[in-house]
Every structure is written in structure tokens, then in C-alpha cells.
């Protein structure tokens, strides 16, 4: 018999409905997996008592025939989502011990649909990072190893704990958040699926803010269908988030066919970077062949401002972060450090120096600089204008195609410390950032292995609100790739 | 753009992040590298281009100007590092 932790969410739903196993058994299997994989450091807080109680409630609902769509499904929640009564730190020392008195809208919707929370997942501090090395609670270690190597690999970031937990079969699925690729890049690194929906699809209320015009929650799971199931529960209008879109949420699982007849897939020529890894280039071509076999036609498109996306991102995201993180001043919550005899300003400076890690401090300072008098127009306003041009590039592309296919990341997972230079790390987001700047739905699907036997993902980008189209193309790739490799 | 030591200290002060002398030179180097890299945006002709204000066209919704919650003083103060007599307490700010 397949281990309970190996089932997909869809498989778990079927098994629970057929009474093949109970939610309590399913949760116990995952809690055991969590306890057995602590060396990955995927969780900052484990919540076994909460999980057991929620599983019992799910079993009662199943017995009454009143089970909600996710009844009994064990999930991990990224530590960026405020969870009522459970410590939420955003991976930062400055929020150590912070216990929200409220539940984020997205985690609340998952729990209302019957999900079981296993714990809070580790992440890069305030979601700033592409490797999970910036967490104040220690790095998360990928369950994968390269062939013939014992080096520990990064799980990607910032949703690295989410990625590692799902890949290691600790959680059936997890929440992630994506600001410049923080769902898609870690999903690619560990061989799972993840989708960032259209900006505004998921409420940001109760999600610790990094860059408000970019941040978007989304699911991470081992199959496209599982992502669709979770996304259906996570999306929806929320009057508490003024950027929340007041549009109907379809059942994203209903339209999944993998049939792409009539669909036009665009290949952005500017993504063919000089010196792109040959294996990734070949996988990209293979992906296009798979989509063709599913009925799609392939068209060449141009996104001429692509090369400016990263510098735009590294102005806008730090600028918004410097503003959002101004609230961590030691007054209302979190760490407070008061130097002896110090005044209020001394308290602010000492608290923020002690509470924020190096990467967060660096980004706050960049943000402060580009917003400061004399530099605002040259940096921030210019970045906002180029952001408009990047969004317009995509709008023009939609005249000739329905979806775009690209690699998710320029490389497979790397080892800890291999990208010590901040700029080298930033370049890892080269394929994911443009869609973030344009607010578009985009997902990563595992599609193959690198020469060293590490997972590689392909990215599908869609029109605003066309998550269904993105998921359907994802399903076509998933079926054709038949990705069955898993961490040892 | 080369960021000098004085600029680093000024940005840190504006950002309310205390830094010690040993951090200044490395930060100046890192910020110079990053800002030098993002300066390539200056080469893009943005004449007549409007800066983006909303990534997905969406009108901000109005709501009634009314109290929507309240009487949650204990919750508001629950995570305060120092709460005294029902208030957030901070170091003395007046002489």
C-alpha cells in the first residue's frame, strides 16, 4: 500500500471520502514525517495539537456527510501568514514571540474549508531571498542532493520551508507567497508545482507585507490538480484588502483537461539568455514540443523590456519594503531594544539594528535611498514608468498568444554559500520577476532533471485572471513530463 | 553611483537602523554595486509613459466611514513589549 504521505491531495480526498483511512490517521502520518525530517529545518513552529484537533473535527464532519472541500488535508502554512494564537515571525528575529490575535484571510479560508495545519513553515526573512539562507531561524535544507554529491542544497526562496516540506512528503501542500518568484523558483528547485495567481486574486490581509504592489499568496503542492484545489479555496474578494479583486472565483479543478487545442503558446525571445544552461534550454524546447502535442501552436513573441525587469524590481520592492517595515519599531509588537539612557529614536535604531538581518537591512537601506529627496524621480518614478512598459510588453504579447512558456529559473538548486554576492543572488529571479511586475498569473511545473539529477521547472505565464489557462497548460506539461523523480 | 561613507550613515539614520563603524565600508561597497546596476534604467526612454500606480486595473473601493470594530484593547496590547495602564509605553520623549 502506498504510504499516506505519498498520496496527492486529490488522492487523500478520495481516500477520506471512501473511509479508507481517517483524517486522524492521515494527520498522524504527516506529524510522524515532520518529526522524522527535523534536520531539514522546514518548520519554525510545529502545531501537532492543533493539527490533531482539526483532524478530529474533519473526521466528525466526514461522518456527518458535511465535509468541506479540504476536510482533513494536512497543510503547512508559510510563516508570513498571521495565524491566530500561533507565533508568526516572517522568519525574522524582530517578530520572535509575536502571537497574532487574528487569522490571515487566506489561512482562514483554508482552515474554514477543513484543512489541517501542521505548523508554520520557515522562510527567508520577510520573504527577502532566493535561497532560504536569510531566515533568523536557520536555513532550510532541500531534501534533494545532486548525483554523487553530499553537499547540502538550498530549497529556493523565499518559500523554501514550504517547498522542502511538500517535496519531502511532510505536508500534502503548503501556502507560499510570491513577490518576485518566491513560489515558482523554490517549486522548481525541489520538483513540485506552485502557482502565483493574478495580483489581487488572494487577499493580502493578515499576510506580513514585503512589497505590497507585488506580494501575492498561492499554493504549492506536488501536482497541478492539487494546486488547483488549494487555489480555489485561497482566492476570493476580501473587503479588508483594498487591492483585492471583486471577481468570481471559478472551481479551478473543473476546467482541467490538458487539452490545448486552439491555444497559442508564446516563446519570449528575450528570455533566450546568452550562456543559458544547455540542459535548461533543451528542456524548454522539449516543453514546447509537449504543448504542441497537446494541440497548441507555438509563436515567437518579443518582450523588449525584459532586461530591465530585475533592476525595476530591485527599486520597487525595496522601496515598498522600506515603507512597510517602518512599523517594526519596538513599540506595538516584536523585539524592543532600549540602550541605557536612550531616547525614543535610540530605541528605534537599536531595535531595528538588532531585529533585522543583513539582507533586510540592506534592502531597507536601498529603499530608503531610492525614495529619498533628490533621488526619488531618478530611481523610483523612472522604475514605475519602466514597469508600465514591461506590463505593456505583455499586453502586446497577448494579441498574438494566450500563454507564455519559459524556464522557471536559470539553474537547478545550488549549494549553500554559492551565491554570496547579493547581486548574483538577485539574478536568480530573472525569469520570474517580469510576470510579477505585471501582476500576471504564473506557475512552475516540474519538467525534468539537470545533468546532476536535480529538478528543473518550466514556467507558464497567463493573462490576468486566466489561472485556469495556466493550470491547464501546466497539466499538459505534467502529463507529458511524467516527472516521478523524488528526493532520496 | 558610488555611495560614500557619509551617505551610508545618512541612509541608516533615515531608515532608523543603527549601524556601527565597521559596517559602513562594506555597506557602501554593496550599495554602490547594487545602485550602479540599477542605474541602467536611466537608458530607457520613458517620455510620455505614465508611472504604474495599479498593476491590475482596479478601483479602490470606498467604505462607509464607520467604526468596524473596537473594544479589543487587550488584543491590541497583547504583543506590546511594554504596556502600562492600557497604553503602549515608550521611553520618555519630553523633558
Cα distance from B56 to chain A (closest Cα, Å)?
A: 6
pLDDT in tens, A182-204: 999 999 999 999 999 999 999 99
Contacts of residue B90 in chain A, CB cutoff 8 Å? 331, 344, 347
Counting the structural domains of chain A, the total is 1
Q: List the one residue out of A424, A442, A358, A396 whose CA is nearest residue A181.
A: A442
Task: Say yes or no for a CB contact (<8 Å) between A423 and B79.
Answer: no
Q: How many CB pairs under 8 A join A and B?
A: 165
Instruction: Verify whether residue A104 is a known catalytic residue.
Output: no
The answer, as to whether pTM is greater than 0.95, is yes
pLDDT at residue A147 is higher than 50? yes
- Domain range for A76 is 1-487
Task: Say yes or no for a CB contact (<8 Å) between A314 and B79.
Answer: no
Closest residue on chain B to A363 (Cα): B31
Q: Which of B37, B78, B90 sits opposite A311 (nearest CB)?
A: B37
CA A324 to CA A318: how far, in whole Å? Answer: 10
DSSP string, A76-99: EEETTB-BTTB---TT-GGGTT--
CA B87 to CA B95: how far, in whole Å? Answer: 20
CB of A226 within 8 A of CB of A214?
A: no
pLDDT at A1: 45
Q: Kindly compute the dihedral angle of the four CA atoms of residues A466, A467, A469, A471, in this order, to the nearest 10 degrees.
A: 170
pLDDT at residue B29 is higher than 80? yes
Lay out the sheet containing A297-301: strands in order across.
A43-46, A116-121, A74-78, A173-178, A216-221, A193-196, A442-449, A455-462, A403-407, A264-268, A297-301
CA A268 to CA A21: how far, in whole Å? Answer: 47
Instruction: Verify whether residue A323 is a known catalytic residue.
Output: no
CA A446 to CA A290: how far, in whole Å? Answer: 13
pLDDT at B1: 64
Where does the pLDDT of residue B57 fall: very low under 50, low under 70, confident under 90, or very high at 90 and above? Answer: confident
Task: Say yes or no for a CB contact (<8 Å) between A366 and B35.
Answer: yes
DSSP tag of A140: P
Q: In chain B, count of helices (H) and strands (E)?
A: 3, 2
pLDDT in tens, A313-358: 999 999 999 999 999 999 999 999 999 999 999 999 999 999 999 9
CA A256 to CA A9: how far, in whole Å? Answer: 15
Longest CA pairwise span in chain A (Å):
72
As given in the structure block, the three cell numbers for residue A238 are 476580501
Report the range of poorest mean pLDDT among A71-85, A236-250, B11-25, B54-68: B54-68
As given in the structure block, the three cell numbers for residue A22 are 481517517
Contacts of residue A389 in chain B, CB cutoff 8 Å? 44, 46, 49
Q: Kindly compute the dihedral angle of the four CA atoms of residues A297, A300, A301, A304, in this order, to the nearest 10 degrees.
A: 160
Q: Which of A389, A422, A439 sits opposite B30 (nearest CB)?
A: A422
CA A186 to CA A163: how far, in whole Å? Answer: 6
Task: Say yes or no for a CB contact (<8 Å) between B16 and A345.
Answer: yes
Cα distance from B51 to chain A (closest Cα, Å)?
A: 4
ipTM, interface predicted TM-score of the complex: 0.95
Residue B68 touches chain A, beta carbons under 8 Å: no
As given in the structure block, the three cell numbers for residue A35 are 518529526
> Bridge partners of A221?
A173, A193
- Give chain A's radius of gyration (CA, Å): 21
Give ∠ CA B60-B63-B69 in degrees, rounded to 5. 125
Q: Find how far residue B61's CA is from the centre of its chain.
A: 25
Contacts of residue A439 in chain B, CB cutoff 8 Å? 55-56
Cα distance from A123 to chain B (closest Cα, Å)?
A: 22
Taking all residues of chain A, what is their mean pLDDT, rounded to a whole number? Answer: 96
Q: How far is CA B22 from CA A352, B28, B55, in A?
A: 17, 11, 40
CA A63 to CA A278: how far, in whole Å? Answer: 53
Non-local CB neighbours of A88 within 8 Å, separated by 6+ positions: A79, A80, A81, A82, A95, A98, A99, A100, A120, A208
State the catalytic residue, choosing from A104, A182, A188, A233. Answer: A182
> Phi first, then psi: what are they for A269, rounded to 5°?
-70, -25
Number of Cβ atoms within 10 Å of the Cβ of A416: 16
pLDDT in tens, A31-80: 999 999 999 999 999 999 999 999 999 999 999 999 999 999 999 999 99
pLDDT at residue A429 is higher than 50? yes
Is the alpha carbon torsion for A417, A208, A194, A29 positive or negative? positive
Contacts of residue B30 in chain A, CB cutoff 8 Å? 362, 422
Task: Say yes or no for a CB contact (<8 Å) between B44 and A305.
Answer: yes
Cα distance from B21 to chain A (closest Cα, Å)?
A: 13
Residue B34 touches chain A, beta carbons under 8 Å: yes
Task: Say yes or no for a CB contact (<8 Å) between B88 and A336.
Answer: no
pLDDT in tens, A328-337: 999 999 999 9
Instruction: Verify whether residue A92 is a known catalytic residue.
Output: no
CATH number at residue A29: 3.90.1300.10
Q: List the one residue out of A8, A96, A42 whose CA is nearest residue A354.
A: A96
Amino acid at each position: 500500500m502506498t504510504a499516506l504521505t505519498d498520496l496527492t491531495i486529490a488522492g487523500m480526498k478520495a481516500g477520506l471520502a471512501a473511509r479508507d483511512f481517517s483524517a486522524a490517521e492521515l494527520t498522524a502520518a504527516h506529524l510522524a514525517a515532520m518529526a522524522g525530517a527535523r534536520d531539514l529545518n522546514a518548520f519554525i513552529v510545529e502545531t501537532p495539537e492543533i493539527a490533531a484537533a482539526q483532524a478530529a473535527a474533519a473526521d466528525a464532519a466526514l461522518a456527518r456527510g458535511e465535509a468541506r472541500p479540504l476536510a482533513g488535508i494536512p497543510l503547512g502554512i508559510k510563516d508570513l501568514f498571521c495565524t491566530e494564537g500561533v507565533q508568526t515571525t516572517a522568519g525574522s528575529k524582530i517578530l520572535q514571540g509575536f502571537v497574532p490575535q487574528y487569522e490571515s484571510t487566506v489561512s482562514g479560508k483554508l482552515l474554514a474549508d477543513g484543512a489541517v495545519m501542521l505548523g508554520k513553515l520557515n522562510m527567508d526573512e520577510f520573504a527577502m531571498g532566493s535561497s532560504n539562507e536569510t531566515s533568523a531561524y536557520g536555513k532550510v535544507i532541500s531534501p534533494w542532493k545532486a548525483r554523487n554529491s553530499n553537499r547540502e542544497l538550498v530549497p529556493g526562496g523565499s518559500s523554501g520551508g514550504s517547498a522542502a516540506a511538500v517535496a519531502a512528503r511532510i505536508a500534502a501542500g503548503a501556502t507560499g507567497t510570491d513577490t518576485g518568484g518566491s513560489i515558482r523558483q523554490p517549486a522548481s528547485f525541489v520538483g513540485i508545482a506552485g502557482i502565483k495567481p493574478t495580483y489581487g486574486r488572494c487577499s493580502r490581509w493578515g499576510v506580513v507585507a514585503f512589497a505590497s504592489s507585488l506580494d501575492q499568496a498561492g499554493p504549492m503542492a506536488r501536482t497541478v490538480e492539487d494546486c488547483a484545489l488549494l487555489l480555489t479555496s485561497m482566492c476570493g474578494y476580501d473587503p479588508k484588502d483594498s487591492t483585492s479583486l471583486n471577481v468570481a472565483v471559478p472551481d479551478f479543478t473543473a476546467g482541467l483537461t490538458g487539452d490545448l487545442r486552439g491555444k497559442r503558446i508564446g516563446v519570449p525571445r528575450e528570455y533566450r539568455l546568452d550562456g543559458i544552461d544547455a540542459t535548461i534550454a533543451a528542456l524548454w524546447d522539449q516543453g514546447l514540443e509537449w504543448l504542441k502535442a497537446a494541440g497548441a501552436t507555438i509563436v515567437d513573441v518579443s518582450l523588449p523590456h525584459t532586461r530591465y525587469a530585475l533592476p525595476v524590481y530591485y527599486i520597487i520592492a525595496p522601496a515598498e519594503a522600506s515603507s512597510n517595515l517602518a512599523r517594526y519599531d519596538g513599540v506595538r509588537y516584536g523585539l524592543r531594544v532600549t540602550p541605557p539612557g536612550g531616547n525614543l529614536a535610540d530605541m528605534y535604531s537599536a531595535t531595528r539594528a538588532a531585529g533585522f538581518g543583513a539582507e533586510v537591512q540592506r534592502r531597507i537601506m536601498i529603499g530608503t535611498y531610492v525614495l529619498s529627496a533628490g533621488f526619488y524621480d531618478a530611481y523610483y518614478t523612472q522604475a514605475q514608468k519602466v514597469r508600465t512598459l514591461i506590463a505593456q510588453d505583455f499586453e502586446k504579447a497577448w494579441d498574438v498568444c494566450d500563454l507564455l512558456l519559459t524556464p522557471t529559473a536559470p539553474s537547478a538548486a545550488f549549494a549553500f554559500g554559492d551565491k554570496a554576492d547579493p547581486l548574483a543572488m538577485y539574478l536568480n529571479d530573472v525569469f520570474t520577476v517580469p510576470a510579477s511586475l505585471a501582476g500576471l498569473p504564473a506557475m512552475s511545473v516540474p519538467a525534468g532533471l539537470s545533468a546532476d539529477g536535480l529538478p528543473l521547472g518550466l514556467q507558464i505565464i497567463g493573462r490576468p485572471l486566466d489561472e485556469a489557462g495556466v493550470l491547464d497548460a501546466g497539466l499538459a506539461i505534467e502529463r507529458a513530463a511524467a516527472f516521478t523523480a523524488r528526493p532520496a | 553611483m558610488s555611495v560614500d561613507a557619509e551617505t551610508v550613515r545618512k541612509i541608516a539614520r533615515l531608515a532608523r537602523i543603527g549601524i556601527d563603524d565597521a559596517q559602513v565600508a562594506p555597506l557602501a561597497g554593496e550599495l554602490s554595486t547594487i545602485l550602479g546596476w540599477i542605474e541602467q534604467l536611466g537608458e530607457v526612454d520613458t517620455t510620455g509613459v505614465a508611472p504604474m500606480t495599479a498593476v491590475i486595473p482596479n478601483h479602490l473601493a470606498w467604505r462607509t466611514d464607520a467604526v468596524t470594530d473596537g473594544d479589543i484593547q487587550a488584543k491590541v496590547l497583547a504583543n506590546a513589549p511594554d504596556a502600562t495602564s492600557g497604553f503602549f509605553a515608550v521611553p520618555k520623549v519630553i523633558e
